Structure 1
Amino acid sequence: MGAELVDVGRARPDDVVLAWEGQDVLAVRLPQLSESLDHILSAMERTYGGPLAGLDRRAKQSVVRTLEARGAFAVRHGVETVASALGVSRFTVYNYLNREKGA
């Protein structure tokens, strides 16, 4: 998901410091959630073999289901980011989400 390992001496307050036998040994810098969404979208493009905008409607709906399960829409501007990647409007993404909830 794009995490970075950093020396404990360079750890920031929002990094996760890992300890071994009582000694801090390593810090993990987690990416911002928006960066994680970009990583997820890139992985989905690799899975589908190309840009998500080129998929048919059914495949795009499947992508939205997968992204919803991964929490993509909890990220600020997540709907807009996904809509752009899929080459559809925000309204279409909301329709896909609502369709799933109604099914």
Structure 2
Amino acid sequence: MELRAEFTTEPFRGEGEPPEHAVRAREAAVKAGLTVDFGPLGTTASGDSDALLDALPAIARAALDGGATRFTLQLSAGDGPPVVEPAPQLARLIREVEAQLGSPLADLDRAGKQRAVRLLEERGAFALRKAVVTIASALGVTRFTVYNYLNREH
């Protein structure tokens, strides 16, 4: 069975390089052979359930040894996030971006998904209720990934 772990380490830092505790947690997940999506507001690691569950203590220890004061974890079973039906206005914005990019959001590569998030942000999509969850569903990624895309340099 495939598992996905979404974790955050605190304290957060707004600008500059990611904090040591976040970097160490990411390195531990990579060392365990997990697929990792790293960003300033959280990290997603996925892989076989045994590999992921075995790696969690090392990931948590690496974060704490790196100075984390809090380690928050959410585990999900299955291949992807739940499907969310968008509100009409948000659905329209998603369709517009899909038309502009020439593909359903879920079919885009990582760079395309990052561009889609930027386009949706420019159109005000994230001001709408439940936008992050809905857009994450449309992209086929986690909400942490959407936050990470939002916080990347343009």
Stretches (4+) displaced over 3 A? none
Determine if the alignment matches structure 1 residue 59 to structure 2 residue 112. Answer: yes
Aligned-residue RMSD, C-alpha: 1.3
**What are the equivalent positions in structure 2 for 1:62-101 lying under 5 Å apart?**
62-100=115-153
Structure 1: unaligned runs, 5 residues or longer: 1-33
Higher helix share: 1
The equivalent residue for 1:38 is 91
- 1:49 to partner: Cα distance: 2.4
Q: TM-score, normalised by structure 1?
A: 0.61
Q: Contact 2:132–2:143 (CA<8 Å) still a contact in 1?
A: yes
Higher strand share: 2
Structure 2: unaligned runs, 5 residues or longer: 1-86
Q: Contact 2:97–2:120 (CA<8 Å) still a contact in 1?
A: no
The structure with more radius of gyration: 1
- 1:69 to partner: Cα distance: 1.1
Counterpart residue identity of residue 130, structure 2: H
- 1:50 to partner: Cα distance: 2.5
Superposed CA offset, 1:13-69 (max 9, x none): xxxxxxxxxxxxxxxxxxxxx311101111222222221101011111111111111
Q: Per the alignment, in what secondary structure is the counterpart of residue 145 of structure 2? A: helix
- Report the Cα distance in structure 2 between the residues aligned to 1:46 and 1:71, rounded to whole angstroms: 17
The structure with higher relative contact order (CA 8 Å, sep 6+) is 2
Q: Would you say how many aligned residue pairs link Structure 1 and Structure 2?
A: 68
Counterpart residue identity of residue 92, structure 2: H
- Report the Cα distance in structure 1 between the residues aligned to 2:122 and 2:99, rounded to whole angstroms: 19
